[in-house]
Amino acid sequence: MPALVNYGGTDDLCSEGPLISNLMDSSCLLSIASNVDVFFPPRKRSRITAPFIFKGGEKGAEKQKQQPCSIDVLPDECLFEILRRLPGNKERSNSACVSKRWLMLLSSIRASEMAAHKKNGASSGETLKKPLPDLNTSASTDEEKEFESTGYLARKLKAKDATDVRLAAMAVGTCGHGGLGKLYIEGSNATRPVTDIGLSAVARGCPSLRVLSMWNVPFISDIGLSEIGSGCPMLEKLDLCRCPLISDKGLIAVAQKCPNLTSLMIESCLSIGNECLQAMGRCCPKLKSIVIKDCPLVGDQGVASLVSAASSFLARIRLENVNITDVSLAVIGHYGKAVADLALTGLQCVSERGFWVMGNAFGLENMKSILINSCRGVTDLGLEAIAKSCPNLKQLCLRRCCHLSDAGLKAFAMTARALENLHVEECNRISLIGVLGCLLNCNEKLRALSLVKCLGVKDISFCTAPLPSCMSLRSLTIRDCPGFTGASLAVVGKICPQLQHVDLSGLVGATDAGLLPLIESSEAGLVTVNLSGCVDLTDAVVTALVKAHGTTLQMLNLEGCKKVTDKSLLVIADSCSLLDDLDMSRCMIGDYGVAILASASQLKLRVLSLAGCSKLTQKSLPLLGNMGRSLVGLNLQNCKLISTQGIGALEEKLWWCDILY
């Protein structure tokens, strides 16, 4: 065709005269029959750039004019070869903005395919000329080029933003800006959900990916996860939650291709079973953390194989609502030499024997923290065995262990000599006698004790003999225990004179008379005090608390103490120099109390909550505006006498403060 267009015409002689004087003059273009000879004079012709082919007849010319003249007419195979030869990340990013088709083609190109093209070209003897530098841009150093693949970028997609197109754009765009290192997908778009296409684009374009977390993505299957395994060999952490189409096949592919995997979390994946856990144990020697929750196909075979194979590095095990028996706990007790954090929840098939065998295997020598929740097999015998096998145990949390009694708690406290934190929740067979026995027989390292919703913790009649002291305890939490009243508080205060953090929220039976001995017996100085829900407390106990510990108090929560008034704020403003968090929600606080706080020069509150204070009016808003630059959080919710317009003016004045209303 170029030969025809550029032909000079010196030998073009025909029998007939010229029909038109200039071929480019479209106004003179006539309909020519197929058998008509055309004569052109011997002169240099104008170069024709348009793809005109004269076949004769008007219909043929119109047909050729209708054909598009664009690179988009090329098939995907040709465009793929063109796009993978783009010189740099900037050019690839710019090309991805042309159309969705170009974006998806660019996202299908692996980094190894672009590198392989350059290597093949160099090995075949081709000399690739370097493009001339762009003087309008700054020169990139070798250091910057090396930094491109480090994978330090993190991206999070939520609900409507999670689409295949967004993932493809992310895969192409992050290549030139450090590489994608962490990707979090939470939910999926309702009309254009995330599928294997988007995840495959990430796998091809982000070889530096180290963390992948997917939550509630129902259309991603083993195909996409296998692509991640093949394209992201540096993967270290994988979290899967509510992924119904992912099965053992996809996780086996990841295990075989990602030997650096250190953390695996599987939650509510109904198609995942034992085979993938066995593969993880064989192929991932660096695995340190495993979390399996609500996976009914996971059983003893998978858990036992994984724990026994990865015993050298496995430091964290969390099993919740899985169908394992005493066998798995026996394997954990024997092979869990590196396990430091163990959480067992909802194991209905594990009996007392399982916990006893786990403790008597004496393999949990490095155990630091244990959480047992809703396990019927936990008894006094098993708990004592665990204490004997875990000499370095520092934290124990027991929740809904219905067969645990005072004897087991006391025996555990006597055996666990390194225990620092004990949390007991909804264990109704444990009484106040067991708690006191634990305090009196514990080691000198116990720092925190928490009793939450324990219906068995009730007041008892104490003897007059002097009780020993637990000098090590610094934090005491007694929350929502309706039988625990002021009489018991006085005894606890005498036993624990070094308390600094006290949480008595929800104790409806607490009174001023019961709390005063606890306040007076604290020798170290209270730092944080939570009395929310103690409806019978008055200004008298608040005044005593502030006067005794105002120099050390940093947080005070009096939410729901309806008998506390502005008098308490007057004492707080005078005595608390370190207080930065004050909650007076649903108290009898009015404008006068706010004026007292605003005028206190030594008070530097960071967070102030006055939610539900029905006596506050518009007059308090200008006073709140004078609280100072230290205030970063203000809660005025459910203050019905304060208007929205007033809140708007306050927001303009306290522009740096987060105001809830």
pLDDT: which is higher, 601 or 591: 591
Is 182 strand, coil or helix? strand
Tell me, what's the pLDDT at 418?
92
Task: Considering only residues 117 and 626, tell me which one the structure prediction assigns the higher pLDDT.
Answer: 626
Please, which residues bridge with residue 479 across strands? 452
State yes or no: pLDDT of 149 exceeds 60.
no
What 3-state DSSP class applies to 583? strand
Contact criterion met (CB below 8 Å) for 620 and 645: no
What does the mean pLDDT of the chain come to? 84
Determine the Cα–Cα distance for residues 459 and 54; give it in Å rounded to an integer: 107
Note the pLDDT of residue 161: 87
Lowest mean pLDDT among 305-309, 452-456, 600-604: 600-604
- What is the percent of the chain where pLDDT is above 90? 57
Q: How confident is the model at residue 132 (pLDDT cuts 50, 70, 90)?
A: low
pLDDT at residue 464 tops 80: no
Specify the range with the lowest mean pLDDT, choosing from 22-31, 68-77, 449-458, 546-555: 22-31
Task: Give the pLDDT mean for 459-466.
Answer: 62
Pair 202, 180: CB distance under 8 Å: yes
Per-position b or e across 539-563, b if 16+ CB within 10 A of its CB: bbbbbbbbebbbebbbbbbbbbbeb
Question: What value does the mean pLDDT take over residues 301-323?
Answer: 94
Q: Is 527 helix (H, G, I), strand (E, B) or coil?
A: coil
The pLDDT score that the predictor gives to residue 121 is: 45
pLDDT per residue as tens digits for the range 180-212: 899 999 998 888 999 999 999 999 888 889 999
Q: What residues contact residue 137 under an 8 Å CB cut-off, 6+ apart? A: none
Q: How far apart are CA 372 and CA 359, in angstroms?
A: 14
Question: What is the helix (H) or strand (E) element at residue 285, kind and residue range?
Answer: none
Quick one: which of 348, 359, 361, 430 has its CA closest to 393? 359
pLDDT, tens only, 35-93: 444 444 455 444 444 444 444 455 555 555 555 567 778 888 888 888 888 887 778 77
Asked whether residue 569 carries a pLDDT value surpassing 60, the answer given is yes
Question: Which pLDDT value is given to residue 380?
Answer: 94
Could you tell me how many residues make up the chain? 661
* Reported confidence tier of residue 20, pLDDT bands at 50, 70, 90: very low
Residues 147, 174: Cα–Cα separation, whole Å = 12
Q: What's the whole-number mean pLDDT along residues 166-192?
A: 85
Q: Return the structure tokens found at 268.
A: 């509510």
Element (H, E) at 283: helix 274-283
Nearest to 483, CA basis, from 461, 511, 508, 448: 508
Q: Rounded to whole angstroms, how far apart are CA atoms 215 and 32?
A: 68
State residue 556's pLDDT score: 97
Q: Give residue 493's Cα distance to chain centre.
A: 40
pLDDT tens per residue across span 394-443: 999 999 999 999 999 999 999 998 999 999 999 999 998 888 888 888 88
pLDDT score at 461? 65
How confident is residue 124, by pLDDT bands cut at 50, 70 and 90?
very low
What is the Rg, in whole angstroms, of the alpha carbon atoms belonging to the chain? Answer: 38
> Rounded distance, CA 370 to CA 345, Å?
11
**Residue 147: pLDDT above 60?**
no
pLDDT of residue 236: 96
Which of the four pLDDT bands, split at 50, 70 and 90, describes residue 134?
low
pLDDT of residue 382 exceeding 60, the answer is: yes
Taking residues 20-38, report their average pLDDT. Answer: 42
Q: What mean pLDDT comes out for the span 471-493? A: 87
Angle at CA 557, nearest 5°, toward 555 and 563? 140
- Over residues 321-347, the mean pLDDT reads 95
Of 251 and 492, the structure prediction assigns the larger pLDDT to: 251
Share of the chain above pLDDT 70, in %: 82
What pLDDT sits at residue 64? Answer: 53
Q: For residue 501, what pLDDT band results from cuts at 50, 70 and 90? A: very high
- Residue 223 pLDDT: 95
